[in-house]
Amino acid sequence: MEIIYKFDIVPTPDQIVKLYNESGLPRPTADKDRIKIMFENSNLIVTAWDNSTLVGVARSITDWAWSCYLADLAVDPNYKKSGIGKKLIDFTREKVGEQVMILLLSVPTAMEYYPKVGFTKEDRAFAIFRTS
């Protein structure tokens, strides 16, 4: 199995919805227009492909000089634990460079994952939650 990583591709809403639903990533996949907007307005999208099948996504929003919000990370369950998530994060780190801090919110099941791939747990975070 050869996985190809791409930086210049915005997957279709259908590809994204399929991956997110299968991976269990909680995102508004019932609303494809919202998914489309989420991707159109992101400026760092790393994707992993097995031939023409989308098997992983890291979607980020960054200013390229200080901050990067890693908004979504998902790997197809058939390809889990083969290093794809780590690669997507490594490529994201490489693209933003050393000046940039990468921030994210973890789902409960990934709390043990992020420390393994280079993240430090932070207690200073605050959020204003969306209401719809």
List residues near ligand COA by CB under 6 A: 23-25, 73-75, 80-86, 106-107, 109-110, 112-113, 116-117
Nearest distance in Å: CB 56, ligand COA:
7
- 13 CA to centre of own chain: 15
Tell me the CB-side half-sphere exposure of residue 97, using CA atoms within 13 A. 6
Helix axes 13-23, 32-40, angle to 10 degrees: 100
Comparison of 39 and 113: residue with beta carbon closer to ligand COA = 113
Query: Phi and psi dihedrals of 62, rounded to 5?
Result: -140, 155
- Give the type of residue at 42: S
Q: How far is the CB of 74 from ligand COA (least distance, A)?
A: 4
Closest separation between CB of residue 80 and ligand COA, Å?
4
Nearer to ligand COA, 29 or 82 (CB): 82
CB-nearer residue toward ligand COA: 15 or 82: 82
92 touches 102 (CB < 8 A): yes
